[in-house]
Chains A and B, each alone.
Chain A
Amino acid sequence: MVKIEIIAVPGCGKCASVQGELRAVAVSLLGEGNVAWREVNVLEEIDYAVSLGVLGMPAMAVNGELKFSSLPTPDQFRALLAGLDVG
């Protein structure tokens, strides 16, 4: 199971449109059952965001590690997922 978290401010229009596309990339590459997708509201979980090292938003963490400080392009995301050791 790959845990993918989008750390953002609720109501971020930019995030909503890109997120759907990124999620589709994850599902097509890993399969629906292997993706745990979560949106992290930075205002509710600021300690968690800080512990990840988030300084800008929207950011993306994969398996609890900050991977992108702004949302990646589908190609960048695909490359990251392809390099993951999903066991």
Chain B
Amino acid sequence: MYTIGKVATLAGVSPDTLRYYEKERLIAPASKTAAGYRLYGEDALRRVRFIKTAQHCGFSLSDIQELLKLRQADGACCEDVRSLAIQKKLTIEHKVKALQAMSSALDELIRGCDGGKAETDDCSILTSLETSLREASR
């Protein structure tokens, strides 16, 4: 059995994170000591590593809850998990596209500005943003 500190160290997360996972019903201590300290088994450590890896792939905690539910559901199959992964990829691709649009907008602002020691009142980036604000509020 591991204490919360030990699991935290082994899994590379903070004890607060583990308490949060417990609140979100993602993990549960196997037992508690007489003094009320949480004790975790090997399965909890595996579960925390699973959560971390899934987060690394972009899954949110609620996605992870769904993945874990699918793992235990009788009627679920690998295709259900794959579908969830594809949906997540679509969401990420949407975000990538939005970020690319932001990056292009910034490129345009940077291209149009010479920088230097000019007064900020004459800065083309600030002027462009002000103009866009005025146009948007019309």
Partner-B contacts on A (CB < 8 A): 9, 11-12, 42-43, 46-47, 49-51, 53-57
Residues of chain B with a CB closer than 8 A to A57's CB:
83, 86-87, 90
Instruction: Name the distance in Å between B79's Cβ and chain A's nearest Cβ.
Output: 7
Residues of chain A with a CB closer than 8 A to B89's CB:
46
Instruction: Name the distance in Å between A53's Cβ and chain B's nearest Cβ.
Output: 8
Q: Report the 10 A-B pairs with minimum CB-CB distance, sorted nearest first.
A: A50-B93, A50-B97, A9-B86, A50-B94, A46-B93, A55-B90, A9-B83, A56-B87, A42-B86, A54-B90
Q: Tell me the bound Cα distance from A11 to B77 in angstroms.
A: 13
Residues of chain B with a CB closer than 8 A to A50's CB:
90, 93-94, 97
Q: Does B138 count as interface, using CB distance less than 8 angstroms? A: no
State which residues 108-132 of B face A: CB under 8 Å: none
| Cross-chain pairs A/B with CB under 8 angstroms, 8 sampled | A9-B83, A43-B86, A46-B93, A47-B93, A49-B90, A50-B90, A55-B91, A57-B87
Residues of chain B with a CB closer than 8 A to A49's CB:
90, 93
Residues of chain A with a CB closer than 8 A to B56's CB:
none
Residues of chain B with a CB closer than 8 A to A54's CB:
90
Q: Tell me the bound Cα distance from A47 to B83 in angstroms.
A: 17
Chain B, Cβ-Cβ closest to A50: B93
A42-B86, A42-B90, A54-B90 known; 8 new pairs, CB 8 Å cut-off, are: A9-B82, A11-B79, A49-B93, A50-B90, A50-B93, A50-B97, A55-B94, A57-B86
Residues of chain B with a CB closer than 8 A to A42's CB:
86, 90
Q: Tell me the bound Cα distance from A43 to B93 in angstroms.
A: 12
Instruction: Name the distance in Å between B70's Cβ and chain A's nearest Cβ.
Output: 16
Q: Tell me the bound Cα distance from A72 to B11 in angstroms.
A: 45
Chain B, Cβ-Cβ closest to A56: B87
Residues of chain A with a CB closer than 8 A to B86's CB:
9, 42-43, 57
Q: Tell me the bound Cα distance from A86 to B112 in angstroms.
A: 45
Q: Tell me the bound Cα distance from A49 to B93 in angstroms.
A: 10
